[in-house]
Amino acid sequence: MSERIILPGEIEKESMRIIASELAAMGREVPPDRAAVVKRVIHTTADFEYADNLVFTDGAVGLAQKALREGCTVVTDTNMALAGVSKTTLAGFGGQAVCYMADPEVAAAAKEAGTTRAYAAMGLAAERHPGAVFAVGNAPTALIRLTELISEGFRPALVIGVPVGFVNVVESKEQLLSAARRAGVPAIVALGRKGGSGVAAAIVNALLYEASGRTL
C-alpha cells in the first residue's frame, strides 16, 4: 500500500478548509477581520470553543497589524511562546520578539518586591518597549501588571491575554479586558480558563501572516 506524502503547506490549507467548513456547520459566524486569528487558534488547539471565547476590542486586529508592519517588538511571558512566534516574518517588518523571564534584572526586582518574575518582566518590558505587542499565554500576574500599567497611562500596541489555568486566570483576563476597553488599548482575550503559550504564539502569527499578505 502506497500513501501520498502530504507536504506541510498542503496539510495546513486542508486543515483551514476543514475548520471553516465545521464552523459553518456549527452555525458559528466569525467576523472577517477576526477569522484568521480564530482559525489559527483552532488549528493550533483543535478546540472550536475558541470561536466563542476569543474576545476582541474594536479594531484590535487592524491596529495590531499596523504596528507589526511598522516593526514593533513582540513581548512574550514565556520562552515557549517566544519560540513559537514566526521571527522570520516579524524580522521582515524590522521587528523582534523578546522574553524577559530569565533576565537577571527581572529576577532581582521580583525578589526585592516579593512578586513573580512575570509581574516584574512586564514592568521592565513596558519601559523598554512601550509600543510593543504583549502576548501573555501563561502568567495571570503578567496580565495583572499590564492592567495596572494601562490604568496608569501605558498604551501598548496590543495585549493578547490568554493565560491558561485555575488560579486568578479568569479574573485577570476580565480585568485586563475591562481596563483595555476603558483606555482604548487594543486587546484579544480568551475568556475562561483556556489558553496557553501556544495560543499566544498562534495569535501573534495569525496577525503577522495576514499583515504580510499570506492567506490560506
Catalytic residue among 15, 34, 43, 124: 43
Enter the C-alpha cell of residue 173: 483576563
- Whether 43 sits among the annotated catalytic residues: the reply is yes
Separation of alpha carbons 67 and 74, rounded Å? 10
Separation of alpha carbons 100 and 79, rounded Å? 9
187-190 β-sheet, strand order: 54-56, 187-190, 158-161, 133-136, 74-76, 97-99
Phi and psi at residue 180, to the nearest 5°: -65, -40
Find out whether 172 and 191 touch, Cβ atoms under 8 Å.
Answer: no
Residues marked active site are found at 43
